[in-house]
Amino acid sequence: MMRISRRLAFLFKIVTLGLAAGFFFVLLRPELLAPINVVEMRQSVSPLQGLAQVASSVQGNDLAGPVSYSAAVRLASPAVVNIFTSKEVPQRSHPLLDDPFFQHFFSGKVPALPRKRTETSLGSGVIVSSQGYVLTNNHVIEGADEIKVALSDGRGTQARVVGIDPETDLAVLRLELPDLPSILIGDSEDLQVGDVVLAIGNPFGVGQTVTMGIVSATGRKQLGINTFENFIQTDAAINPGNSGGALINPYGEMVGINTAIFSRTGGSEGIGFAIPVSLARDVMQQIIEKGRVTRGWLGIEAQEVTPELAQSFGLPQARGVLVAGVLRNSPAAAAGLQPGDVITEIDGVEVNDTAGVLDLISRHAPGTQVHLDGLRNGKPFSATATVTQRPIRPRN
């Protein structure tokens, strides 16, 4: 019993000394009693719920995004077709055949060789009506002797050209097949920078392909691609063969026709351009109804008024467009316009660039009048011209 009592007393002393040491240590280092710092991480919820939370934090934004765009692709892709064209092009004979010594060797009877070869190309198109009308780019079918169209359901047929519009690089084809799918037409005017878009086409001939991106810009002009430009810019990959295909929104509605890329290498570098469906639809309707697109024309050469030009012409500010030239026997000449005139308004609409002048004049139907206001020798002047049909200018 004595030994047990001594052991208990010894353990008691040790515990007491430990508690006392701990008490004094805490007095010296009180931060050790603070709770352990745990990094708080928000647990990821389902993607749709996460997007909804982001949307609720952005005032006035109806942000929403699906996990997959497969439903949109299933809805739109049957109406996107592959276009294969072929044409016969002249082939230069070998220079050796024109050599006098060579001709002497054959006694002047040089063997006849084929002087033509067949060039083939590929692109895409979109069936916009169950009646068989197909929208594509003019450069896809330009100069083709034969146009074949392959549908996603495996069917194929030859296409007939209904009409072309080189100045917007659009063309309308017609297919003669039953039970044709057609794409839903969206509203390109509602597109905003940051909207998700998908490009469907046949890049490099590998077959129907879908790429995704966002709208990088709208209303791109003066790129030197077409005469009339109002492009949707996107970083959705658009490669050779995609031309004429559909640019769709997440609901499977077509908002544009894929047309061109900016590239230093020939491949996609994230800068692609599509023709808005609003412009394409207007061109298509005119081609189907009239066989061609009618646009007003004045016959002037115009350039923008820079600060330097404004100073040299004695203008109070750099506004309007300068008439650099007037074509003989044109509506502008008949209206009395002169080189050096500065046009500031067309039908009451202020203009400050050549694209705006071209657009406003072209909207007038041939035979209608356009009212011009501007400055001549620093003094205000007005003129009224009767526009005529704009001459068709082939692509460069």
Domain boundary among 148, 174, 200: 174
Q: Is 103 inside a domain boundary?
A: yes
Determine whether 139 is an active site residue. Answer: yes
Which among 243, 268, 341, 359 is annotated as catalytic? 243
Q: Do 277 and 309 reside in the same domain of the chain? A: no
- pTM over 0.85? The answer is no
Q: What is the pLDDT of residues 209-239, one digit of tens each?
A: 999 999 999 988 877 788 888 899 999 988 8
Q: Is 63 inside a domain boundary?
A: no
CATH number at residue 332: 2.30.42.10
Determine whether 57 is an active site residue. Answer: no
Average the pLDDT over 129-149 and give the result. 93
Q: How many domains does the chain have?
A: 4
Q: Is 312 inside a domain boundary?
A: yes
Domain boundary among 174, 194, 214: 174
Query: Percent of the chain scored above 70 by pLDDT?
Result: 74
Domain boundary among 115, 147, 174: 174
Give the per-residue SS3 of the chain.
Answer: CHHHHHHHHHHHHHHHHHHHHHHHHHHHCHHHHCCCCCCCCCCCCCHHHHHHHHHHHCCCCCCCCCCCCHHHHHHHHHHEEEEEEEEEEECCCCHHHHCHHHHHHCCCCCCCCCCEEEEEEEEEEEECCCCCEEEEEHHHHCCCCEEEEECCCCCEEECEEEEEECCCCEEEEECCCCCCCCCEECCHHHCCCCCEEEEEECHHHCCCEEEEEEEEEEEECCCCCCCCCCEEEECCCCCCCCCCCEEECCCCEEEEEEEEECCCCCCCCCCEEEEEHHHHHHHHHHHHHHCCCCCEECCEEEEECCHHHHHHCCCCCCCCEEEEEECCCCHHHHCCCCCCCEEEEECCEECCCHHHHHHHHHCCCCCCEEEEEEEECCEEEEEEEECEECCCCCCC
Determine whether 243 is an active site residue. Answer: yes
Q: What is the pLDDT of residues 163-185, one digit of tens each?
A: 999 999 999 999 999 999 999 99
Q: Do 285 and 308 reside in the same domain of the chain? A: no
Q: Is 42 inside a domain boundary?
A: no
CATH number at residue 220: 2.40.10.10
Q: Is 110 inside a domain boundary?
A: yes
Which among 165, 169, 341, 359 is annotated as catalytic? 169
Q: Do 74 and 135 reside in the same domain of the chain? A: yes
Q: Is 88 inside a domain boundary?
A: yes
Q: Do 370 and 281 reside in the same domain of the chain? A: no
Q: Do 309 and 238 reside in the same domain of the chain? A: no
Q: Do 89 and 161 reside in the same domain of the chain? A: yes
Which among 124, 129, 139, 373 is annotated as catalytic? 139
Residue 7, domain extent: 2-33
Q: Do 333 and 372 reside in the same domain of the chain? A: yes
Q: Is 245 inside a domain boundary?
A: yes
Confidence band (pLDDT; 50, 70, 90) for 50? very low
Average the pLDDT over 248-277 and give the result. 85
Q: Is 50 inside a domain boundary?
A: no
Does the pLDDT value for residue 240 go beyond 60? yes
Q: What is the pLDDT of residues 99-135, one digit of tens each?
A: 665 565 555 565 555 567 777 788 999 999 999 999 9
